[in-house]
Amino acid sequence: MPKKMNIPFGTITITEQSRTLINKILDSNRISSGKYVREFEKKFAAVVGTSEAIALSSGTDADVLACAVLYDYGANRGDEIIVPALSFVATGNAVLQAGFTPVFVDVERNTLNIDPSLIERAITPKTRAIMPVHLMGKPAEMDTINEIAKRHKLVVIEDAAEAHGAVYKNRNIGTIGDMAAYSLYIAHIITTGEGGIVTTNNSEYAEILRSLRSHGRACKCESCVLNTASAHCDKRFKYGDNADIRFVFERIGYSAKMNELEAAIGIGALGIYNDILNKRRDNLYYLMGQFSRFSPYLATIEKESYEEIGPHALPIIIQQGVKFTRNQLVNYMEKNGIDTRSLFSSMPTQCPGFGFLGYRLGEFPNAEYLGENGIHIGIHQDLGRIECDYILNVIDKFIKENR
């Protein structure tokens, strides 16, 4: 066994460009959302391949506001949005925070993603959208999901929190649904420290999102001149002489803006996006390619020929019939310096906060199995082949001692 190493789950790369911009912003005394947020939005949209990107304060807010767009198109509070049972709890929380009811569907154990064959039976007259999650960066089955949505006139909101750089049948994740919500939290491929962003090719959705992130106000231009001193705006009194557009609120909104300092971190990260993506993908695919040695004790996701997985983390699923528990594996890895995270939970049946919805344990067998038997570990850009081999050797030694 090689000398113990320290393998943290995540990292953050703050570039010299970001540091220079941060100092410039601090010297300007203007850190609220402004020109650097706009710059980050344009560059992020260009990377994903959409015409619009709306920067927000968190990935959860990205989900929330994408859902809230539906109110402008006839949705009512309490209407339903279909989501996978297995995800980080933010997915279910966001639907509730937006005033909708999450309707949960079980996942496929081998992909971790929503089972398309179960979606249609969950649709009711109150269903307004489907929110597939590309869990661990593994693309959901978007062709089938979009076909179902089209048949039932539903909106598709991609939860792409972990799917930076993912590709499905030659199309970038983030461009396939009507909207896509990304997290920009520290552990993600592109980060602003905290933060989130919604991508879309629908200019009306983008305008509504800009309103929603700022309390629902009518002032929602892509670039605002009113927030600069002594600037003239022809739209300021469009609602009447005594009605300043900044204080006309067209819809129920949120306070969910990104600030300039966060945008500066993101701009720097986008400048080295391909380097980060390629390093993480090399780590992920190398580990996945070696993982068959752990069969039949452990498994991970597989890459299909038509996809590229967004290299967020390596999921590890303990297989049925083994003699060891998840806790034993986790404790062994942690003692050997490898940071781990659980593979989330079945939101409706393993997260007590969702108990009021009335679901019962056993309704989502695959999500529940993964919630009890899954973990994930980091594959970030500060790791290389030496660290990956160390991870494999630690797991190999554990299995030899516990099979």
Are the CB atoms for 263 and 40 separated by under 8 Å?
yes
- Residue environment code for 166-199, b if the CB has 16+ CB neighbours within 10 A, otherwise e: bbbeeebbbbbbbbbbbbbbebbbbbbebbbbbb
Are the CB atoms for 33 and 258 separated by under 8 Å?
yes
Are the CB atoms for 49 and 353 separated by under 8 Å?
no
Q: Residue 306 is encoded by which pair of tokens?
A: 């038509």
What are the backbone angles phi and psi of residue 42, rounded to the nearest 5°?
Answer: -65, -40
What are the backbone angles phi and psi of residue 339, rounded to the nearest 5°?
Answer: -70, 135
Select which of 134, 152, 164, 188 is catalytic. 188
Could you tell me which residues come within 8 angstroms of residue 17 by beta carbon, excluding any fewer than 6 positions away? 267, 268, 271
Catalytic residue at 188?
Answer: yes
User: Order of strands across the sheet with 171-172?
Assistant: 171-172, 167-168, 307-308
Catalytic positions are: 188
